[in-house]
Chains A and B, each alone.
Chain A
Amino acid sequence: AQTVTQSQPEMSVQEAETVTLSCTYDTSESDYYLFWYKQPPSRQMILVIRQEAYKQQNATENRFSVNFQKAAKSFSLKISDSQLGDAAMYFCAYIHTYKYIFGTGTRLKVLA
């Protein structure tokens, strides 16, 4: 069965510092998509970054980047120059048969 694991229930980072959120997944497929979503207190699901498994290059969106290790089935999110507005729940997600499978989330706290 496809699963997504986020082993860090909560992380803290000092403003302007860098933090990495971990995600591992389990799949027997060779071509798939991975996502990181941010969920602020409003509970809206906001797409942060996406990665196509067939692309070897790690995706980058401004201060957000991923470290995609396909063989290890690892998909971590790095946030550089953390800002107070980055504080939120972050969910890693994998697409399987066109439905998302989400991890349990990591709550990120940003300390001023």
Chain B
Amino acid sequence: EPEVTQTPSHQVTQMGQEVILRCVPISNHLYFYWYRQILGQKVEFLVSFYNNEISEKSEIFDDQFSVERPDGSNFTLKIRSTKLEDSAMYFCASRRDYEQYFGPGTRLTVT
């Protein structure tokens, strides 16, 4: 069964550094998403992406964040100048119809 994959599974970075989180969506899916879950809290929507552009973003998704589909398979989330409060699990999801399929997540730790 096809699945969404994410790399790395765990990323540790120093405050102020840039990180890129990578996702490979399911191949025939057209819509892509990033969600964030701070430890012990609920999962929050960050951004949705369709047809090579952002279709919707939340108030969390400020200028520090960017998304890209650099090739036909990868979907990336870049966080510039990371802050301590960016420490969280980041989930990628993709969909073709209404249901989204989540990747296993990347745990980002900012020290």
Contact = CB atoms under 8 A, between A and B. Distances in A.
Interface in A72-95: 91, 93, 95
A30 interface: no
Interface in A36-50: 42-45, 47, 50
A35 B67 CA distance: 26
B50 to A, nearest CB: 9
Interface in B26-55: 31, 33, 35, 37, 41-45, 48
Which range contains the number of B residues in contact with the other chain? 20 to 34
Q: Chain A interface mostly helix, strand, loop or mixed? A: strand
Contacts, number: 46
Contacts of A43: 37, 89, 104-105, 107
Interface of B: 31, 33, 35, 37, 41-45, 48, 56, 89, 91, 93, 95, 98-100, 102, 104-105, 107
